[in-house]
Amino acid sequence: MLRRSLSRLCAGEEKRVGTRTVVVGHRPVLETDAYVAQKFCDNRIVSSKYTLWNFLPKNLFEQFRRIANFYFLIIFLVQVIVDTPTSPVTSGLPLFFVITVTAIKQGYEDWLRHRADNEVNKSNVFIVENAKQVQKESEKIKVGDIVEVKADETFPCDLIFLASSSIDGTCYVTTASLDGESNFKTHYAVRDTTVLCTDEAIDALTATIECEQPQPDLYKFVGRIIIYRSNQEPIARSLGPENLLLKGATLKNTKKIYGVAVYTGMETKMALNYQGKSQKRSAVEKSINAFLIVYLCILLSKATVCTTLKYVWQSNPFNDEPWYNEKTKKERETFKVLRMFTDFLSFMVLFNFIIPVSMYVTVEMQKFLGSFFISWDKEMYDEEIKEGALVNTSDLNEELGQVEYVFTDKTGTLTENSMEFIECCIDGHKYKDCISEVDGFSQTDGPLKYGKAEKSREELFLRALCLCHTVQIKEADQVDGLIGHPERKYTYISSSPDEIALVKGAEKYGFTFLGLENDFMKIRNQTNETEMYQLLHVLNFDPVRRRMSVIVRTTTGKLLLFCKGADSSIFPRVQQEEIQQTKVHVDRNAMDGYRTLCVAFKELTQKEYDKIDRQLNEAKMALQDREEKMAKVFEDTEADMHLIGATAVEDRLQEQSAETIEALHAAGMKVWVLTGDKMETAKSTCYACRLFQTSTELLELTAKTVGESERKEDRLHELLMEYHKKLIQDIPKNRGGLKRSWTLCQEYGLIIDGSTLSLILNPSQDSSSSNYKNIFLQICLKCTAVLCCRMAPLQKAQIVRMVKNTKGSPITLSIGDGANDVSMILEAHVGIGIKGKEGRQASRNSDYAVPKFKHLRKLLLAHGHLYYVRIAHLVQYFFYKNLCFILPQFLYQFFCGFSQQPLYDAAYLTMYNICFTSLPILAYSLLEQHINIDTLTSDPQLYMKVSDNAMLQWKPFLYWTFLGAFEGLVFFFGVYFLFQNSSLEDNGKVFGNWTFGTIVFTVLVFTVTLKLALDTRFWTWMNHFVIWGSLAFYVFFSFFWGGVIWPFLKQQRMYFVFAHMLTSVSTWLAIILLIFISLFPEILLIVLKNIKEKNHQVRCRIAVRCPLQA
């Protein structure tokens, strides 16, 4: 793709490497020297990562790129090569377990992908060859093949639409699998091939297609088809997105179509869109890596101390070579430095279990299994769309509990995106009520004009609403859609709810759109007469122009251009004296929270139209820079128009959106609204959804306050400095150290528009204000709420990136429902898509998708809070239990002459992390609810208690580390003092070092498991099963392991040790006492905490009663 992009930029000719030439049906063209055959990929889809042959090496390579796995591999190799105190099995088996579990998981996922690929690749399709239909497997389609697709079938590759069973050469498709849009889209066949609707006719076609190389944008396509006919000049026609049928889309309400394959296999737009998203890493992962470095330093320190003290100990000749253990000749001749290095490695191996390799598998399992709770949440299921929440990535679950900034779209996110026509104005006259055929429909409003507009102007306005759109009509029983009236037997379909609302508004006032047939738009007027208009050109809407136009010809031959768009886009292009009377209505409607559009027209002469037609056709035929050339023609065409009036459409607030924003504010989050709407409309919505309170002081940085003069940069600088002084210099610094204390101060809100943001982010070269951005950022961060209006999609992403990269790297969340929100969703730490009415591009590109904005409250305050607490506890617990495990081993070296003698048996070393202590913490990290979910949702301030990564800071980490060190000391020295009298039985039989280690290990397993039981607040049958089951399994395993003479072991050092140990009453008492002493500080803390909470509750009750008595 990079080479292709470079080739497009570097080449200068029209036809270059950045384009491809496709021969339709592989029929040779007469001018053979003009065509150089190109090789294209086959139609196989490969979404799998591995093959049977490369799975093992590729998967192992990927797994060993993880530091912990690579570290344990080195330790294992050291154990194999060097004579170490523990068997290679002790580190090899846990590593093998981790690698195997991960490989099985990834292998299974890849097998599912292989199976899905085969279903697609082996499906049957029909190719037209030699005027006959030939059945082939989908993977055998080649670029240039003519493919026949029947109704309700999925397109097997990207096709140029040549002909269909419909006479007018149209077909209807749904693209739900691509962008989630379930509405029907109309596609058009190439004008000159629409009649070729039989196998024989289509096979006789001789043509070539020149088009751009594959690129992932679903909504862009640039190409042209050249049709060759005998004894005639070749005909060239432009090709655009309306002629391209995408792989994955489904043919609807059309019997069959013919198309020629232009992109196949991994070059189809669907395949290019599903090739990976950038990987987002959570803050928890960063904390794990930091803690891992600390424990690695502890490990190195232990190994260094023990190696040093060993040689200090051996400086005494008697200790170095006692009479009962003389050195061999080889040992005497070995270099001392090499011996020291070998000993250092041996100590590293002995203590290596302080690094918890199994933690990574447990964390992965916790994230994967935990994500199902979001999908299963019935409260986040929407009855209207029959869908619930969706998790696209489980790696960021805990990040939901750390959000500081929420960036939200307005239309379709805070509002319903269900448009209703409210009113309109024509030549300054307000119209609200339905009209009769005679009386008109004017209504006056306060200081606005009385009376009504001329009848001809009313009709012109309503015709403009009926003609200037891309609405399609379909029979109501054939498609799900919006049905305006029960008696109407059709429904309007459009990608924009605004357009349907306007067409319905015109229908309410007597002008009904009847559909498009053979390039003629039909409307029924107020006198029930049918009018016909030839549709000559559609100048499509785009977010940059913010308007759309149509050029039509009346039956009398008159040429008209109708245009509708945002007021900021229309006003500069109409006669200035016409603006004021309409602007009053537009501003008032915007203040009321309505979405406004202005309508304009102009009459074209035949000469003007011929020029526009020629320019448009030239621009459409361009293979390079087509969009820029089209935009230039649009700009020239949509000039010197006459303003007719404006419309007002209401987009209601979503249910509970105001309550949700209040809850997010109370939880310490700052909410920013980023919208493309005009300021007045967005401002009204922000007040309605309580983003701005009546007490909020608003600061404005808009074209209105900055001005349009040459001094606007100076004025902007003045405003920035004024606001900076007000917010930063004049407000005293917070002394209480409260987290997110801005919620306690005077509330400020900032309003900025797109043009002013461009000035701030991209100041002119001669501007002395290069620090605009920093001042602006400081102002923004001090405001409780920010409204950014008139934002382009790229500007939304710039805002998110700017906040994300500030000092402290605050966690950002973006939520939106449309394609224009995708950029900010991908930019934020956490991206949330709403399954809205503007398609599913947002939910498809997001990390999580929810049906409504209100579901964000529970997703963050309940799920996010709990996920963070669970995984934070899991991480700290893993480091804690491994420190408890290895510290006694380290202390034991001081009592065995630093001889690297292991304290625990190899089986215990191997099974500790895999079996004895893994399941309880996994169950805890999936099921724990330290606070009830309803309480978390209803009390947002609880969210602040875990904000700023509170549970994985150095303070709690040190607490867990000291707790682990304390318990390790208790385990070792408690058993050591018990062994002051090594005869623990009445018969005087002495216990040995393996009994000593087994007692320490027993106390260890019971203590760390019971510690988790003390931490558990939400008990389920599963918690009981894994906690008590793990302890029972340990006891059973110990009896079993020591009760059998194993033939594969060289020595039976654990034979009958555990059973014999439990025959001593002293051992029983010691185990129980040591477990109690180890857990006593934790029990004491819990008791003190409960007493403190009860005292607080009592004080609250007294405080409530006293005012009542007074």
For residue 765, the model assigns a pLDDT of 54
Q: Which residue from 568, 588, 593 is spatially nearest to 650, judged by alpha carbons? A: 593
pLDDT at 402 over 80: yes
Sign of CA dihedral 508, 509, 510, 513: negative
Mean pLDDT score, 511-515 = 88
User: What's residue 323's pLDDT?
Assistant: 57
Q: Tell whether the model's pLDDT for residue 369 goes beyond 70.
A: yes
Over the chain, what is the mean pLDDT?
Answer: 80
The values of phi and psi at residue 836, to 5°, are -100, -165
Residue 319 has pLDDT above 70, yes or no: no
Assigned token pair, 1036? 């059973």
Residue the block writes with tokens 């805990």: 398
pLDDT category at 244 given cuts 50, 70, 90 is very high
Segment among 134-148, 678-692, 723-737, 928-942 with least mean pLDDT:
723-737
Instruction: Tell me what pLDDT residue 743 has.
Output: 46
C-alpha span between 207 and 25 (Å, rounded): 8
Identify the CA nearest to 418 among candidates 501, 541, 490, 476.
501
Can you give the pLDDT at residue 7? 36
Least confident of 1-5, 225-229, 230-234: 1-5
pLDDT computed for residue 148 by the predictor: 92
Give the whole-number percent of the chain exceeding pLDDT 90.
Answer: 16
For the CA atoms of 492, 497, 498, 501, what is the dihedral angle to 10 degrees? 50
Question: Beta strand 547-553 with 390-391: parallel, antiparallel or unpaired?
Answer: unpaired
Least confident of 198-202, 633-637, 687-691, 1030-1034: 687-691
- pLDDT at residue 159 in the model: 94
Q: Is the pLDDT of residue 663 over 70?
A: yes
Is residue 263 predicted with pLDDT exceeding 90?
A: yes
- 922-950 pLDDT, tens digit each: 999 999 888 888 888 888 888 888 888 88
Share of the chain above pLDDT 70, in %: 84
Q: Are 784 and 672 in contact (CB under 8 A)?
A: no
Confidence of residue 1033 (pLDDT cuts 50, 70, 90): very high
Instruction: Please tell me the predicted confidence (pLDDT) of residue 274.
Output: 57
Q: How confident is the model at residue 445 (pLDDT cuts 50, 70, 90)?
A: very low
Cα(846)–Cα(842) distance, integer angstroms: 6
Using one digit for the tens of pLDDT, what is the confidence trace for 109-144? 788 778 878 888 888 999 988 888 899 999 899 999
pLDDT of res. 883 = 92
pLDDT exceeds cutoff 80 at 332: no
Condensed to tens digits (0 to 9), the pLDDT of residues 850-876 reads 888 889 999 999 999 999 999 999 999
Between these two residues, 906 and 208, which has the higher pLDDT value? 208
Instruction: Write down the residue that tokens 């930091």 correspond to.
Output: 290
Query: What does the pLDDT average to over 1041-1050?
Result: 69
Highest mean pLDDT among 471-480, 625-634, 951-960: 951-960
Query: Which pLDDT value is given to residue 1014?
Result: 92
As a whole number, mean pLDDT of residues 803-822 equals: 84
| Paired tokens of 541 | 């809407």
**Alpha carbon distance 596, 586 (integer Å):** 6
* Active-site residue set: 409
Q: Determine the pLDDT at residue 1021.
A: 92
Backbone φ and ψ of 144, nearest 5°: 105, -20
pLDDT of residue 543: 60
Task: List Cα–Cα distances, 1066 to 735, 817, 932, 990, in angstroms.
Answer: 56, 68, 43, 13
36-69: string of b/e by CB count within 10 Å (b at 16+)?
A: eeeebeebbbeebbbeeeebeeebeeebeeeebb
pLDDT interval class at 744 (50, 70, 90): very low
Position 489 scores a pLDDT of 62
pLDDT computed for residue 977 by the predictor: 86
Question: Residue 969: what pLDDT?
Answer: 93
* Mean local confidence (pLDDT), 764-778: 68
